[in-house]
Amino acid sequence: MTQLSDLPLRDDLVGRKPYGAPQLSVSVALNVNENTHRIPEETAVDIISRLAAAVLEVNRYPDREFTGLRVALANYLQRGLTPEQIWAANGSNEVLQHIFQAFGGPDRSALSFTPTYSMYPLLAEGTGTNYIAVPRGNRFELTADSISSAILEHKPAITILCSPNNPTGTPLDLDCILAAYEAVVSFNGILVIDEAYAEFAHDTSITALNQLDGRPNLLVSRTMSKAFAFAGARVGYLAADPAVIDALRLVRLPYHLSAFTQAAAEAALAHSTALLANVDDIRAQRDRIVSELRELGLDVYESDANFVLFGGLEDNAKVWQQLLDQDVLVRDVGIPGTLRVTAGTAAETTAFLNALRVALAK
Ligand SMILES: *Cc1c(COP(=O)(O)O)cnc(C)c1O
């Protein structure tokens, strides 16, 4: 049998591990920060009718510029954004890959503040970009000064700030974003704010989208995978200066968004209010998790996302397994003594909290 080591794999990929959150079949899956609510029936029916229309034209390539989707995304984001400022791809992971392909690469580096999203180093590896991991400070928080000095020390081609940060939930203040921008433009670097969880923030008025005007090196990435309950459709998007969009066009594959993806995403955006209806409930469950875990005496991190990181576990791997034994799946993100749990429905949250009480009592 052929082994991976028999193949003429690129030297820099030898020994690497693929992205691999466990995909297990459990009744309460709270491990990858999906929106655990199903989409409303009315929305599903509309999506199906648009897919039906698309299938009749599937002999043709789709609109390479996904014009209708960009118009719909610009309308959704508001703030005077135009379709020329919008990009989209198969998940924001692909949007980020386009950024790495266009602005990273050999002899260039990308910097982020760890612990942070586990895909950033993998995207760097895949594009031959050097990845610089700068450790976060006390309780994973960042300050404007710590951000500026790291950026100015390393002068990376790409700086990524995850706001709020996955896997810690840590919010990012506006002064941090502005300080990061000031630092990157001093050497014409790119600043990416990954706002995958922006809709779950306590104060949603704080977003880097409001800072795009006059800042051509600022890229704000978002996704339909989390708040929009659309993870399976694979749609992520970005807002930036039209010149940035031109750069991303250079590296995308032709027709990268299928006719079905475009049709489904446009239909979903037409129902954005219905799809986002559960966001308030998810936020309430998140805040409930924070307060109940604190009552249990655990070390709980502040979160602006739809998940909570908690520590104070003597043996986190054991607790993870004890939860799984009770059919509840959470995530061990590799931070010693901690686990991360997604805020699901009220019933799922109750199931998690009950299972955790049982696990901790053992
Ligand atoms: C989930 C997530 C994404 C989004 O991934 P998609 O490819 O859009 O599903 C992006 N960034 C972070 C930090 C995430 O946690």
Q: What is the pLDDT of residues 199-247, one digit of tens each?
A: 999 999 899 999 999 999 999 999 999 999 999 999 999 999 999 999 9
239 close to ligand 1 (CB < 6 Angstrom): no
Q: What is the CATH number of the domain that holds 135?
A: 3.40.640.10
32 close to ligand 1 (CB < 6 Angstrom): no
In this structure, the residue with its CA closest to atom 11 of ligand 1 is 196
Q: What is the CATH number of the domain that holds 28?
A: 3.90.1150.10
Ligand 1, from 92, 161, 165, 237: best to mutate by most atoms within 8 Å of Cβ?
92
- Residue 267: the pLDDT is 97
Q: How far, in whole angstroms, is CA 296 from its chain's centroid?
A: 29
Helix, strand, coil % in the chain, rounded to nearest 5: 45, 15, 40
Residues 68 and 90 in one domain: yes
Q: Is the pLDDT of residue 21 over 90?
A: no
- Residue-wise pLDDT for 35-93, tens only, equals 999 999 999 999 999 999 999 999 999 999 999 999 999 999 999 999 999 999 999 99
Give the distance (Å) from ligand 1 centre to CA of residue 223.
Answer: 7
The neighbour count for residue 114, using CB atoms within 10 Å, is 18
Count of structural domains, the chain: 2
In this structure, the residue with its CA closest to atom 3 of ligand 1 is 196
Share of the chain above pLDDT 70, in %: 100
Residues 239 and 90 in one domain: yes
Give kind and range of the element (H or E) at residue 120.
helix 119-126
Give the distance (Å) from ligand 1 centre to CA of residue 95.
Answer: 10
CA 7 – CA 9 distance, rounded (Å): 5
Q: What contacts 41, CB < 8 A, 6 or more positions away?
A: none
Sign of the Cα torsion 355, 350, 34, 285 reads: negative
In this structure, the residue with its CA closest to atom 6 of ligand 1 is 91
Residues 293 and 350 in one domain: yes
Give the distance (Å) from ligand 1 centre to CA of residue 1.
Answer: 35
- Residue-wise pLDDT for 280-299, tens only, equals 999 999 999 999 999 999 99
CA 50 – CA 28 distance, rounded (Å): 31
* Structural domain boundaries, residue 95: 41-274
Instruction: Assign 331 to helix, strand or coil.
Output: strand
Predicted model pTM = 0.96
Give the distance (Å) from ligand 1 centre to CA of residue 105.
Answer: 21
Give kind and range of the element (H or E) at residue 284.
helix 279-295
- Residue 22: the pLDDT is 78
CA 115 – CA 302 distance, rounded (Å): 15
Report the DSSP beta bridge partners of residue 300: 310
Question: Amino acid identity, residue 227?
Answer: A
Tell me the pLDDT band of 16, cut-offs 50, 70 and 90: confident
CA 233 – CA 255 distance, rounded (Å): 16
Indicate which atom in ligand 1 lies nearest the CA of residue 165.
Answer: 13
Return the structure tokens found at 254.
């032709």
Residues 258 and 321 in one domain: no
- Residue 262: the pLDDT is 98
